[in-house]
Amino acid sequence: MLAAVYIAHLLGIVVHGGTYLLTLAAVALAIGLTMNVVLVNIALRPIRALERTARQVWGGDRDARVPNSWLADRATAQVGNTFNLLLDRFAADRVRIQALVAEIIRTGDKERAVVARKLHESIAQNMAALVYQISAARHTSAHTPLNPFSNTAPSASLPPSLTAELDAMHVAATNILQEIRSLAHTVHPRVLDDLGLLAALRTMAHRIQEWNAVKIHIDLIEGTPTDVRAIPPKIVAALYHVVQESVHNALRHARPANITLTLEVFLQNATIRIADDGAGFDLTAATRQNPGIGLFTMQERIALADGELEVTSTPGQGTSVYACVPLPA
Report pLDDT digits (tens) over 25-61: 777 777 777 777 666 666 667 778 878 888 888 877 8
What's the domain range around 164? 98-188
Note whether residue 329 is domain-resident. Answer: yes
Residues 179 and 112 in one domain: yes
pLDDT tens track for 109-166: 788 888 888 888 888 889 999 988 888 887 764 444 545 555 555 445 567 777 788 8
pLDDT of res. 262: 93
DSSP designation for 224? S
pLDDT of res. 320: 94
Could you list the beta-strand ranges (E) of 223-318: 258-265, 269-276, 308-313
Is 294 in contact with 245 (CB distance < 8 Å)? Answer: yes
pLDDT tens track for 85-103: 988 998 888 888 878 877 8
pLDDT of res. 124: 87
Relative to beta strand 319-326, strand 308-313 is antiparallel
Residues 245 and 321 in one domain: yes
Residues 170 and 220 in one domain: no
Looking at the 3D structure of the chain, how many domains does it have?
3
Note whether residue 92 is domain-resident. Answer: no
Note whether residue 233 is domain-resident. Answer: yes
Note whether residue 206 is domain-resident. Answer: yes
**Alpha-carbon distance 136 to 301, whole Å?**
48
Residues 198 and 328 in one domain: yes
Confidence of residue 79 (pLDDT cuts 50, 70, 90): confident
pLDDT of res. 99: 82
Residues 23 and 138 in one domain: no
Is residue 311 scored above 50 in pLDDT? yes
Q: What is the CATH number of the domain that holds 248?
A: 3.30.565.10
Give the H/E segment covering residue 309.
strand 308-313
